[in-house]
Amino acid sequence: MRNITLSIPDELLRKSREYAQKQGKSLNDMVRELLKKTIDTSSQKGYLEVIENARKDKDLGIDTLDRWNRDELYNR
């Protein structure tokens, strides 16, 4: 694991430490969790967008995933 240096305003640092302590976590743990959540959410955005676009057939205005069955999807 690597160390990094962050620059944040004194007041934000104070409030962050207080909040972390109330949560029973270290500030390092909180920053790690927030970064992970941000990255995971960002990677899911593309996936969710693809699913949403697949659900709506813009030309026909119908819910395409609900009208397809397994055989149609795999052309069997």
Element housing 63 (H / E): strand 62-63
Structure token digits, residue 5? 């240096």
Return d(Cα 53, Cα 72) in angstroms, integer. Answer: 19
Which residues are bridge partners to 56 per DSSP?
63
66 contacts: CB under 8 Å, gap ≥ 6? 55
Q: What is the pLDDT of residues 27-76, one digit of tens each?
A: 999 999 988 888 877 666 666 676 676 666 555 555 555 566 667 666 65
This prediction has a pTM of 0.52
Write down the residue that tokens 């969710």 correspond to.
48
